[in-house]
């Protein structure tokens, strides 16, 4: 039986998570289900966050039920306890889990935020990195592999991790 894989992104808002993940991994020929609340939200009526969350939860449930590999693209900041609960659930049904965590300096994140389709309040750009890091620290002992990158320079720079970066994740 194929071992399902889950990649969870984490990091403050506007640190470049989605851009970096797209640059780092090729999903063109993979069977990974990409979950991104921001993308789903753009497809909803009136940019509805609650609708997007409901859709993403349904996608997550389908992946779990059918042991499908998935990428959950999020901050880990807003719902840390839910992230930890999901990790426990995925481990219980046999997932190999990797966290790819991103950081960058505040000034860079604030500038990037202004270029986003969905500009977030500066307060969230300032507060989300700390909340995301708290969840990341709680999650690291629970997962198979984790990596930490800094995107401040505009490049994805490796900070640290618990496995060789050359390991194929998908």
Q: What is the bridge-based pairing of β-strands 70-73 and 96-103?
A: unpaired
Which pTM does this prediction carry?
0.86
Q: How many domains would you assign to the chain?
A: 1
Contact 73, 36 (CB under 8 A): yes
The answer to the question of residue 21 being in a domain is yes
The answer to the question of residue 166 being in a domain is no
* Segment 19-61, tens digit of pLDDT: 888 877 766 556 788 777 666 666 666 766 677 778 888 889 9
* Segment 101-128, tens digit of pLDDT: 999 999 999 999 999 888 999 999 999 9
Q: What is the CATH number of the domain that holds 31?
A: 3.40.50.300
The answer to the question of residue 167 being in a domain is no
Cβ-based neighbour number of residue 64 at 10 Å: 18
The answer to the question of residue 78 being in a domain is yes
């Amino acid at each position: 039986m194929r071992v399902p894989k889950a990649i969870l992104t984490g990091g403050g808002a506007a640190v470049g998570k989605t851009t970096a993940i797209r640059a780092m991994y090729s999903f063109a020929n993979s069977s990974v289900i990409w979950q991104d609340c921001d993308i789903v939200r753009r497809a909803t009526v009136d940019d509805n966050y609650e609708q997007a969350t409901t859709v993403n939860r349904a996608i997550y449930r389908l992946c779990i039920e059918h042991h499908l590999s998935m990428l959950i693209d999020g901050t880990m900041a807003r719902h840390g306890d839910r992230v930890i609960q999901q990790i426990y659930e995925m481990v219980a049904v046999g997932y190999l889990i990797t966290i790819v965590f991103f950081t960058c300096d505040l000034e860079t994140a604030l500038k990037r935020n202004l270029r986003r389709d969905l500009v977030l309040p500066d307060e969230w750009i300032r507060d989300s990195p700390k909340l995301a890091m708290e969840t990341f620290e709680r999650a690291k002992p629970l997962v198979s592999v984790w990596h930490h990158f800094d995107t401040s320079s505009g490049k994805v720079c490796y900070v640290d991790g618990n496995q060789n970066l050359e390991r194929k994740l998908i």
